[in-house]
Structure 1
Amino acid sequence: SYEKAMEIDPEFFWSWGMRGMVLEKLGRYQEAIASLTRATEICPYYEDGFYHKARCYAIQGKTTAVIENLQKTFEINPHSYRHKAATDPTFELMRDNKHFQALIQKADG
């Protein structure tokens, strides 16, 4: 279990990240964000952590936090995540947001 892995090595970012993604799927967004934040604190280049935090914030309607976390994701890995974010239904309500559009286009260029 991720809990056991975190107990054995609390600095293993992957366990925190996977725990966060499971919590996201369970709809426990605040807990997911906390775990994903811990993962990205341990490993600042963990793009999945920032991406999934952006998803959690999008579901909660927190536009600024979505943009901030997607920007960090794209800084780390712009090519893989640009298309993913552009087509992810979680970001559907963000599609008309000019900051979201600019971020997607910037990552594309």
Structure 2
Amino acid sequence: MTNLSRIILSGQTIDELEEYGMLETNYLTASQVKKTLSELNQITEQTLRDNFKPEVMNLKEVYCNPFDDSFFDYLLEYFNKVKDFYFDTAQQNKAVITYIIN
């Protein structure tokens, strides 16, 4: 499977923005957005369901709340929103910038 963590931390940074309190500003080029969308589109709801392990997430203290099977629908909703965003962005041939604010 592809490492899609580049959606948040691409490893391509814009260091000049740190002075504005943005700790790490990352970007994906328009062609990288299209590649990322292609990879996102390969992930089906069933693939997500098969890999959804709330007990492991709880052990690793992912986020601050305990997970159970009912949380899957919430995650699926936001996964689909990310896919929609990447679809729209790819259609417009635009890049993506992500950042973390301190």
- Give TM-score, length-normalised by structure 1: 0.29
Considering fraction of residues, name the structure with more helix: 1
Considering fraction of residues, name the structure with more strand: 2
- Give TM-score, length-normalised by structure 2: 0.31
RCO higher in 1 or 2 (8 Å CA, sep ≥ 6)?
A: 2
